[in-house]
Amino acid sequence: MAYLDALKSAEDLRAGIAEAARARRLASNLTQDELSQRSGVSIATLRRFEAGGAASLETVLRIAEALGALEGFADLFPMPPAQTLDELDSLPKRQRASARPKP
């Protein structure tokens, strides 16, 4: 998905992901109907997604799984780099964000 990194907006990214999924489906020699059956996503939802329409995360993950393309999703929200040893020790333990001071 490296080529998707250059996209600027969420809408651009959504369209790029849809196009990448379509290209992978075609490279796998699958019809929309076959991918619909493999993924459990309705044919109408799949067609709308491939046309650049909105899709739920569940739908995108089901399509990605059916296409063997789940590996990139684990890297969507990397942890921020630690600046100190104390930060490094505390990052995995956090359960909630800190309270923000009121203006």
Using one digit for the tens of pLDDT, what is the confidence trace for 67-103?
A: 999 988 888 888 777 777 776 666 555 566 667 777 6
Could you tell me the pTM of the whole model?
0.72
| Percent of residues, the chain, with pLDDT higher than 90 | 50
Report how far residue 64's alpha carbon sits from residue 55's, in angstroms, rounded to the nearest whole number.
12
Q: Residue range 48-68: average pLDDT?
A: 94
Report how far residue 54's alpha carbon sits from residue 57's, in angstroms, rounded to the nearest whole number.
10
Q: Is 55 exposed, middle or buried (0-12, 13-18, 19+ CB in 10 A)?
A: buried
pLDDT at 93: 57
Under the banding of pLDDT at 50, 70 and 90, the label for residue 50 is very high
Domains of the chain: 2-75 (1.10.260.40)
Q: Which of 77 and 4 is assigned the larger pLDDT?
A: 77
Q: What is the average pLDDT score of the chain?
A: 84
